[in-house]
Amino acid sequence: MPTHDGGSSDLEADDGSNAAARPIKHEYPLPRYSTAGEVVAAYAESCSGDTIVNGAGEDLSQCADSQKGQYKIGVPRTPGQAAGGSRSKRRPSNQVIEGQSLNRKTYKHDTYVLRVLDEDQEVTTELCSEEMPLSTLQHDEYKEIFASLNDLFCRTSYRWLAQYKFRIPRKRYMKDHTSPFDRELTEYVQIIKNLVEGRDVPRHSVSDERLNELVSVMEGASEIRHVNIHVSRKHKPDRRVLGFIAAVNEFCWILRDNKGAMETNQMYARVEDLILRNRRRVSEDRGKDPRRVTPE
């Protein structure tokens, strides 16, 4: 049976009477594949004398000649990268465009702005007024309030942990935990948070099964420790101080500590009255200032 070499099917007969066929070997050159650079260069040369126009009507004849040799094999081009390998610079979002205001954003749809009501004009002016300082508490008063809040939080946490006999991990580098002040406020927050996340806290141990709110309230009150340490820094606003007292009061109510809740209620009323008296005194002092007296 005849064999084929190189995929050729051409057969050649002998000169004599022998009709046996034998394969004829043809040496065909192997196909050669062009690289991407050669394809682009050939296309650019073929179009060098023609005019190439894109959909926008722009002439791209010179662009074809300038793109020779700018393609690299096997290196993909990332979005926003120019043909030469350099990235195109993106316009910053805060750059002012001609015809646009600096502080105005361009909206795709129609928008409108609400008008301030006439009865709210005075209220808006009072809220934006900077005549009254944000903090009117004296340094000693400020320091005493946050020290009392820190002690109340620690005592409430200790009573709750001792009442329900929670298992607290022992750490050798810490001293024995036998009193509320053997641990800092942030350490109590971490202990209770680990118990809640480990599902070791029964729901009946908190008021109205508010376990999720317990973690949020503790994280809000954990800043008391930071303020108590750095009390010499800028004072928190008066309303923020009342917010800290309210957070500790809510913490006591969640843990069903009636004693701590009553103490925080009394502290809130006392501090609020103190702030009102201080603000009243500041207003009187500003009224007596001769630089603020309007001429008749």
Digit-by-digit pLDDT tens for the chain (296 residues) are: 555 555 544 444 455 555 555 655 555 555 666 677 777 677 666 655 555 555 555 555 555 445 544 544 444 555 555 555 555 566 565 555 555 555 556 666 788 888 888 887 765 555 445 566 788 899 999 999 999 999 999 999 999 999 999 999 888 888 888 999 999 999 999 999 999 998 889 888 998 888 889 999 998 888 898 888 888 888 999 999 999 999 999 999 999 999 999 999 999 999 999 999 998 888 888 776 555 444 43
pLDDT of residue 71: 47
Q: How far apart are CA 148 and CA 206, in angstroms?
A: 23
Centre a 10 Å sphere on the Cβ of residue 252 and count the other Cβ atoms it contains.
27
d(CA 70, CA 128): 61
Q: What is the pLDDT of residue 209?
A: 83
Cβ neighbours of 118 (radius 10 Å): 7
- Alpha carbons 165 and 225: distance in angstroms, whole number: 25
Maximum Cα interatomic distance, the chain, rounded to a whole number of Å: 143
pLDDT for the residue 121 = 73
Question: Residue 165's pLDDT is what?
Answer: 92
The interaxial angle of helices 238-254 and 258-288, nearest 10 deg, is 170
Strand partners, 81: 87
Is the pTM of the predicted complex or chain greater than 0.85?
no
- Write down the pLDDT at residue 155: 95
The ranges assigned to domains in the chain are 139-278
3-state secondary structure of 176: coil
In terms of DSSP H, where are the helices of the chain?
36-46, 61-66, 121-127, 139-163, 185-197, 211-221, 223-229, 238-254, 258-288
What tokens appear for 10 in the block?
A: 């051409």
Q: Which amino acid is at 180?
A: P
Q: Name residues whose C-beta falls within 8 Å of residue 189's C-beta, 6 or more positions apart in sequence.
A: 218, 219, 221, 222
Q: In terms of Cα–Cα distance, which of 186, 115, 199, 185 is closest to 151?
A: 185
Radius of gyration of the chain (CA): 42
Residue 210 has φ and ψ, to the nearest 5°, of -95, 60
- What's residue 181's pLDDT? 92
CA torsion sign for 158, 160, 162, 166 is negative
